[in-house]
Structure formats: structure tokens, C-alpha cells
Amino acid sequence: MKQDAILFIDIDESPSARYSYREPHFAQARSRGLACLIAAVSGRDYLERLEQDSDELFLLEALREEAILGLVKELEGRYSVRAIFCHAGHASAQGQVGCIVARVCRQLGLVYACPDAIAACNNKFLMRQVLHRHGLRSVPFALCNNHQELEEGAARIGYPLIVKPAFGGASAFIRKCSNWSELSSHYTHFLAHHGEASCADFYGCAHVLPDDDGLARDYIPGQSILLEGYISGVEGTVECAIIGERVHPVLINEKLLLTERSGTVLENLLITPPASFTAGECDEIRRYAIDCLRAVGLTNALVHFEFRLTELGPIVIEINPRLGGLYVNAALRDLAKLDPYQLYISVLLGEQVRDAELEAAAKQAADCAQSYSMLAIYPQESGFFKGFAGVDYLQGHDAVVEYAVQEPGSHIDADIEEHYLLKCWVKVDGAAQAHTLHDAVMHNLSAIIDKRHAG
């Protein structure tokens, strides 16, 4: 008798896993008696963690639709593959894995998210195009492939502006620029050092993009860069669930503390429920998130929607077609009483998820009397990360619900991307206590970094 199974397509080839995503979903699947299978590209490194986590590991010659479909055909004698999924929020040097998996699922009659919508979410240039076409609040933007296009785009957009990869992860090579000198210097730095980011393969692969003027534009990893008008306001996120085409904004986070580095922007401290957004503003944020997600056409997904609340209203920063990082999972669990991994497995398996359940979860989160904060510690200097001193402070603290430390043993660059050396989920009485606790954690803990290996 064949066993029901789910298949995960893995593209994380970094020395330290860049996200905990596959494992908690597998735990939910195993609780239902499903076998958990993994497929990855042959020749890649760090297969040990895939072998340890899967019931079977399969290596493909390339990450193409035909290869995945062929694998499913080969498995027919032993497994009934009920769902195929991946970390859809990032591209890969192998291609846009989210789009590839979505098209495979569509051919097999499995639950899938709209592949064109995944592409529009992961490429921020395409996202801005969609919002512009639908008349939704946004900012001017330009995709540039050289210094001349960069100068022309900046002249049209105006300073200050944000420059960043159209694809990307870990906030790599993002900078606010106030003049041409800063912008030109940052782009030159990006051209020279883009491959040094631990998530460099998240830039994707070269391909052609449509433009609103009818002209095709080349996207070239490590060369193409996106300019956007700077958004002034308080930053936050909306954690959403999309069931079929029905969009449910479940929970809002407010970012209390951001740090700008020379090549990245770091999220140091967040609070939920939001501390400064009024009830009316939260309603407007939810409506805007729904409008944006309907515009891009995303279906059957959990979504991490980032925005800034301006004087004109919320303006989107990015739409991530996946569960949010840091402790978004804990926020959904503790405020909305919703297990995001269980929910997504139910969506993938085509099980009925009632609107009333998600509406009740959103109300519970909004009405929660207990505030929670996510805080993160990032490296202050580049080098070889060896761990933390002072972690005992967290183990004995009443406010700390849970925390996690990045696995030691890898080189980190403090200036070009974010590295969550430590993340923490805590109970607080409000924004003031959240700031106080963040300062106390920064005072009592210190990252051990060997600068002799700074590179």
C-alpha cells in the first residue's frame, strides 16, 4: 500500500541554515502520518541536514519542472504525493523555485499559489509595476543595469531614495542614499562585492522582464539594482493568510527600532499588538494589504507584508509569499492562537479552512491585552562567529518566552546583510518596557567574534 507523502524542494546551500521552515512543516505532516520527502539539486553541499530531516532524499540533475514531474512519476509505486512545497519567498541561482513548484503543482492537480503572483512578490520591480497599474499607493521606482541608468533613474525619482536588489534576502545591499555620490559609491560596492553575501544565490538568475512601456528589460544578478522613492513613516508588518483567493490579515506588528548600516537595514525591536497605530489606522492597514495582495493575485499562501505608515496612509515595502521570520510564528501562536505550520499544511492538502476561524484569530490578536516583542542581536563587526557570552541572563528572565542563537562556526559580514545572531520572543507591558528590555539584553549579552578571520 502506498504511503501519503509531501515533497519539499530545498535550495538552501548555505553553511548554516538560513531559515527554519522545512522542519516545523514536516513535524505537522508527520503528526498526520505523512512521509516527508526532500528533493535538491545534485552536487550541492550540506546534504547531511537534508538526509537527517527527510524520510528519503532525492537529488535532481537540475531544478526544472520536468525533473520534479519525473521524480513524482518515479515515486508513484511507493508514495502518493499529496503536496509539493518550498520556501517560496526567495529566488535561486537555479531559478525561481516558488514559481517552478507552483507550475508543477498546477500540472499535477495539487494545491498551488499563482506562479505569476509569486514572481511579482519576489521581484520588487514587478511588484511596483502591479501596484502602479492598479492605482494603489506606492512610490516611484526604476530598475537600473549601469551607472548611466542609475543616474537617470535617481534624477526622476529624487533624493532621498532607497537602493536595493530587486530580488534578494537578508536585507543585503540596501541603503538610503541622499545624493549621487552615496548612490554611485553604493552601486560600485554592490558590483564588486555582491557575491560575498551569504544569500547571494537569492538574487536569482538572468532573465527578461516586461516593462510598463512595452519594452523588455534585462535582469542580471549582481548587476541589476532597484531604486525606490524613500518612504517616511513608522514601519510595520501584516501577517496574512490567503485561502484560495480569500485574503485574511491576521496580525499587525510595529517596528520600534531600526538600525541603518552602510549596506543593510536591521530590525532590532518589534512589538505586537502595535503600540502607536490607532484602531482606525490598523483598519486602513488591513484594507490596504488586502488590496495589494488581490492586485498581485497571490493565492493559497501565508504572507509577510511589510509597509510604512505615512501621512498619506500605508505604503508597501515588500510582499513576501511565505511565513515571516524572526518570531512571527510565535506571534501567530500566542496572540492569534493559530499554528501557522498546521494551517499551511492544511492549505496544501486542500483541507477546508473556515473564514470564521481566521476572522476569530485576527480579532483575538487585535484584542490581546498582553503585548509581546521580538528583539534581535546583530554583529557589530565582521569576523568568525563563535557564540555568545551571557546567555544565562535570558534563561533566568521571567519575560523571556523563547530565544534562539545562530549556530556558531561561520564567517559573517556585519555591513552587507542581516545576521540574526540571536533572536528573542518576550512578554512586555508596552513599548517603553520593550526598549528597556532590549537595552538590557544588549548590555548583558555579547557576541564572540574572531576578527582575525574578518576577511
85-132 pLDDT, tens digit per residue, is 999 988 888 889 999 999 999 999 999 999 999 999 999 999 999 999
Percent of the chain predicted with pLDDT > 90:
77
Q: Is the pLDDT of residue 200 over 90?
A: no
| Amino acid of residue 21 | Y
pLDDT tier for residue 12 given thresholds of 50, 70 and 90: confident
| Amino acid of residue 333 | R
**Of the CATH numbers 1.10.645.10, 3.90.700.10, 2.40.30.10, 3.40.50.20, which one belongs to the domain with range 3-111?**
3.40.50.20
pLDDT tier for residue 216 given thresholds of 50, 70 and 90: confident
* E strands in 193-233: 207-210, 216-219, 225-229
The pLDDT of residue 414: 82
The pLDDT of residue 172: 83
Q: Is the pLDDT of residue 64 over 80?
A: yes
Looking at the chain, which residues constitute the CATH 3.30.1490.20 domain(s)? 140-229
Looking at the chain, which residues constitute the CATH 3.30.470.20 domain(s)? 234-453
The pLDDT of residue 15: 67
Distance from C-alpha of 418 to C-alpha of 198, rounded to nearest angstrom: 10
Higher pLDDT among residues 173 and 290, named by residue = 290
Q: Is the pLDDT of residue 288 over 70?
A: yes
Please list, in sequence order, all residues whose beta carbon lies within 8 angstroms of the beta carbon of residue 436, skipping any fewer than 6 positions away: none
The alpha-helical segments, DSSP class H, found in 210-323 are 279-296
H/E segment holding residue 308:
strand 301-310
The pLDDT of residue 90: 80
Q: Is the pLDDT of residue 36 over 80?
A: yes
* Partners of 253 in beta bridges: 237
Count the helix, strand and coil residues of the chain and give each as a percent rounded to the nearest 5: 35, 30, 35
The pLDDT of residue 453: 52
pLDDT tier for residue 181 given thresholds of 50, 70 and 90: very high
Decide: residue 36, CB within 10 A, 0-12 exposed, 13-18 middle, 19+ buried: buried
State the chain's mean pLDDT as an integer. Answer: 93
Distance from C-alpha of 251 to C-alpha of 282, rounded to nearest angstrom: 10
Distance from C-alpha of 341 to C-alpha of 83, rounded to nearest angstrom: 14
Q: Is the pLDDT of residue 357 over 50?
A: yes
Of 77, 74, 84, the residue nearest 104 (C-alpha): 84
CA angle 9, 32, 20 (to 5 degrees): 40
Lowest mean pLDDT among 30-39, 195-204, 293-302: 195-204
In 3-state terms, what secondary structure has residue 81?
Answer: strand
Please list, in sequence order, all residues whose beta carbon lies within 8 angstroms of the beta carbon of residue 75, skipping any fewer than 6 positions away: 5, 37, 81
What is the chain's length? 455
Please list, in sequence order, all residues whose beta carbon lies within 8 angstroms of the beta carbon of residue 131, skipping any fewer than 6 positions away: 137, 138, 292, 295, 316
Q: Can you tell me the mean pLDDT for 125-145?
A: 96
Superfamily of domain 234-453 in the CATH hierarchy: ATP-grasp fold, B domain (3.30.470.20)
Q: Is the pLDDT of residue 14 over 80?
A: no
Please list, in sequence order, all residues whose beta carbon lies within 8 angstroms of the beta carbon of residue 278, skipping any fewer than 6 positions away: none
Distance from C-alpha of 332 to C-alpha of 247, rounded to nearest angstrom: 16
The pLDDT of residue 330: 98
- Omega before residue 273 within 30° of 0, cis: yes
CA dihedral 233, 238, 244, 245 (to 10 degrees): -20
Decide: residue 143, CB within 10 A, 0-12 exposed, 13-18 middle, 19+ buried: buried
The pLDDT of residue 444: 95
In 3-state terms, what secondary structure has residue 36?
Answer: strand
Between the alpha carbon of residue 447 and those of residues 240, 259, 316, 423, 436, the distances in Å are 34, 17, 33, 12, 19
The pLDDT of residue 455: 47
Between the alpha carbon of residue 150 and those of residues 146, 154, 180, 187, 284, the distances in Å are 6, 6, 9, 9, 34
Distance from C-alpha of 140 to C-alpha of 134, rounded to nearest angstrom: 14
Higher pLDDT among residues 50 and 203, named by residue = 50
DSSP 407: P
| Amino acid of residue 19 | Y
| Residue with the three cell numbers 553575501 | 197
CATH of domain 140-229: 3.30.1490.20
Distance from C-alpha of 164 to C-alpha of 153, rounded to nearest angstrom: 13
Looking at the chain, which residues constitute the CATH 3.40.50.20 domain(s)? 3-111
